[in-house]
Structure 1
Amino acid sequence: MNTLELVELLSPEGLRLLDSLPEWRSTDDVVQKVAELRRAGHGPGLVAAVLAQSKLRTRAAAKFGPFASRMLFTEAGLEQATRLQVAAQHAGRFQRAGVQWVADLGCGIGADALALAALDIEVTAVERDEVTAAIAAYNLAPWSNARVEHADVTTFDLAGVDGVYLDPARRDGARRLADPGDWSPSLDFAFGLAARFPTGVKLGPGIDRALIPTDAEAQWVSVGHEVVELGVWFGPLAREGVRRSALIVTDAGTAELTAEADSTDAELGELGDYLYEPDGAVIRARLIGDLVRRLEGRMIDPTIAYFTADQATATPFATAFRITARMPFDERKLARELSARGIGTLEIKKRGMDVDPAVLRRKLSLKGSGSATLILTRVAGKRIALLAERV
């Protein structure tokens, strides 16, 4: 979105038109919608801006729920914004630590600032991109305890604030920036603020773990079994005795696995009746060993994240599969087995095997009305195929 589009959108006519539109559906005819709005007397620039925003609001519902219907977005801002469920977790940390005024540096469209303001925390949201800052100001307008500043976060005056939150930009347009020194602000700048303030930093979950300071709490967050972020927390925002955490967020609530450090590996053992696939946050946090011991299981291979047990135990931290058949991995034998079982619908999962599921699926020539999960992995170093069903 450029400045001219934003001016069109923020005009009284633009906001009235946007709010009057029904929820955008993927089946809607864009050409027909444009023609209808043009016939109603709206200019081409306004129509383009309003329809683009209507589409973004529909997409944003997955992150912001009903709040999306009164917010504004940019394409990049929506992609990078913290989900409201997760932003509420961030805000709760500041509240429990007694922080009363937070500077949200690099606030984007204002998702985290919104969650902080909703807990009656004073928020100064700082954004260097002019259009994005204006969008954030619109989104935060209902909260009198939140203000937006269009400024460079590295030179912004932090006098008076008693907590800081940052989400460094890790892209330059479509290009991902590999060097943390090139991020905006740089990782050194972000972590350096922890010497002055209780600080939280949002990072990508795949960051080099060697960059995580030893005195910080590192929390990997999974939403709907997708790992969405790593939160690094300093000072009173980091919990006593917690340096590694896997937070699982679902519609049913949250669950968390914590430890003082990476967990030690669990023992290896024979393949049992059940196979477990840990949530990605547990894997990233390196807490698999603790989870295996909690579920009285055992690892199947020292290099594979799957583990096994003789019984099924409900847990939010892993998905359980009941093994119905096991065999050495051989495409022809596997095809015969699936044919004999009448399997026509097959979910394919793999770890530790160089197999293209799409290519394998074509070779198997699946026919039948049955369904199953095929798990391709290594057990004690040997390639194995497991037929299973989700518990």
Structure 2
Amino acid sequence: MDSAALTRLLQPDGWALLEKLPPYSEEAALRLSDGLRARGVDPDLVSAALTQSRLRARAATKFGDFAAGMLFTQHGLEQATRLGVGAHHARRYRAAGSQLVADLGCGLGGDAMALSALGIPVLAVEADEATAALATVNLRFFPTATVRHADALELDLAAEGVDAVFADPARRTRSGRRVFDPAAYAPPLADVLALREQVPALGVKIAPGVDRAELPADTHAQWVSVDGDVVEAGLWFGPLAPEGPGRSALLLAGEDAHTLTESDAVRGTDAAAPHAPPRAAAVRDVGDYLYEPDGAVIRAGLVARCAEDLDAGLLSEDIAYLTTDTPARTPFATGYRVLDHFVFSLKRLRGYLRERGVGRLTIKKRGTAVEPEKLRRQLSLAGEGEATIVLTRLRGRQSVLVVEPL
């Protein structure tokens, strides 16, 4: 959103228009736009208000009911921390006794909101002027939050009285393209990590696809998934990492939160170090049950740890499917009963499914080049039944497992 559109929206008439808009509907947007313009409302203001209405609708998945009173940009929303995840961030600062948190690269203010909700004073710093203005609007109900338009790395942390830092470096270019190299973050990750020389209590949000080999030895790295979708990784230092250096996976689903770390026997050893290669689980023949570890467990290199809890082994080396003969409940993996398995062949698979009247097919895959949608077309199924298949490798051979969810 350009600054002119933002200025108009923040005027009394612009804000009143935005607040009167009905819940956003793609189908009704054009009709609504035409109607407002016919009544003499400025077209640019109409466009800005409808854009915000659309972004608010999308933001509800991250901010819930709070989204209805917030302002967004497309890029800012994409990078914004979900409020539920931000709450877990904030609890680390509260447990550490933080008195003033500098939220560097605060964006739209999501993490500052979560910190403020726990009564923790926040200095939210944003280099982009328009984004800083939006953060000011979004944090207007939190008196302990202050927004400042400034370069985060030029802030004098000691002079401000900051005793903890949360940093969220930008991981997209101006055109919206994702940035995967930590050296290309804005500011670069190395510059952000250098802040712990001034303030040991440092937390940094990074992309979940980061190469674990690049992680510093003194961090606790945590990968977070929400309802099975890996949304971020966080690096925690000093008093913000009471677990000590290592790796963990945090899984959030509704009101539930579950954390997986290395076992006591491994924690504190080189194998549990943030930058260490993940431990390997043994490979086993297909058992009666299949388990698919959550993406955060896989990213954190904790598949072997998950296998220990399930008394399971890998179906194939370097593929994150686990198998066991004993079912178990775990929040860290999705379980399936194995009904059948055989070497992959299009002809055999088609015949197998048609024999059983399967018309609706769920296809899961790992470690194979088969494209699910292309395979679905090739199978040409038309029955009334449904089935789930897993395409993967068994002992190095392309194979099919027919499964049903537990």
Q: TM-score range by the shorter chain?
A: over 0.9
Matches within 5 A, 1:98-109: 98-109=97-108
Paired residues of 2:102 and 2:125 also in contact (CA < 8 A): yes
Q: Partners of 2:178 and 2:380 in 1: how far apart?
A: 39
Matches within 5 A, 1:26-105: 26-28=26-28, 30-105=29-104
Q: Partners of 1:180 and 1:336 in 2: how far apart?
A: 49
The 3-state SS of whatever aligns with 2:210 is coil
1:305 aligns with 2:320: yes
Paired residues of 1:126 and 1:153 also in contact (CA < 8 A): yes
1:231 aligns with 2:243: no
User: Please, which moves more after superposition, 381-390 or 213-222?
Assistant: 381-390
Matches within 5 A, 1:73-222: 73-158=72-157, 159=159, 160-173=161-174, 174-197=176-199, 198-222=201-225
1:206 deviation in Å?
0.5
1:328 aligns with 2:343: yes
The 3-state SS of whatever aligns with 2:391 is strand
Per-residue Cα deviation, 1:57-90 (whole angstroms, up to 9, x for no partner): 1110000000001111111111110000000000
TM-score normalised according to structure 2 size: 0.94
Which residue of 310, 313, 318 corresponds with 2:333? 318
Runs of at least 5 residues in structure 1 that lack an aligned partner in the other structure: none
Q: Partners of 2:6 and 2:229 in 1: how far apart?
A: 33
The 3-state SS of whatever aligns with 1:73 is coil
1:116 deviation in Å?
0.5
Q: Partners of 1:125 and 1:275 in 2: how far apart?
A: 46
Q: Partners of 2:283 and 2:361 in 1: how far apart?
A: 29
Which amino acid letter does the alignment assign opposite residue 83 of structure 1?
Answer: R
* Count of paired positions: 390
The 3-state SS of whatever aligns with 1:27 is helix
Give the ranges of 4+ consecutive aligned residues of structure 1 lying more than 6 Å apart after TM superposition: none
Change in Cα spacing, 1:225 to 1:178, as seen in structure 2 (3 Å) is closer
Paired residues of 2:180 and 2:209 also in contact (CA < 8 A): no
Q: Partners of 1:380 and 1:331 in 2: how far apart?
A: 19
1:178 deviation in Å?
4.3
The 3-state SS of whatever aligns with 2:193 is helix
Which amino acid letter does the alignment assign opposite residue 359 of structure 1?
Answer: K
Per-residue Cα deviation, 1:198-220 (whole angstroms, up to 9, x for no partner): 00000000012122111100000
Q: Partners of 2:233 and 2:107 in 1: how far apart?
A: 17
Q: Partners of 2:107 and 2:228 in 1: how far apart?
A: 25
Which residue of 258, 265, 281 corresponds with 2:261? 258
Q: Partners of 1:9 and 1:97 in 2: how far apart?
A: 39
1:316 deviation in Å?
1.2
Q: Partners of 1:371 and 1:114 in 2: how far apart?
A: 45
1:358 deviation in Å?
1.3
Change in Cα spacing, 1:22 to 1:68, as seen in structure 2 (3 Å) is same
Give the CA RMSD over aligned residues: 1.3
Which amino acid letter does the alignment assign opposite residue 26 of structure 2?
Answer: S
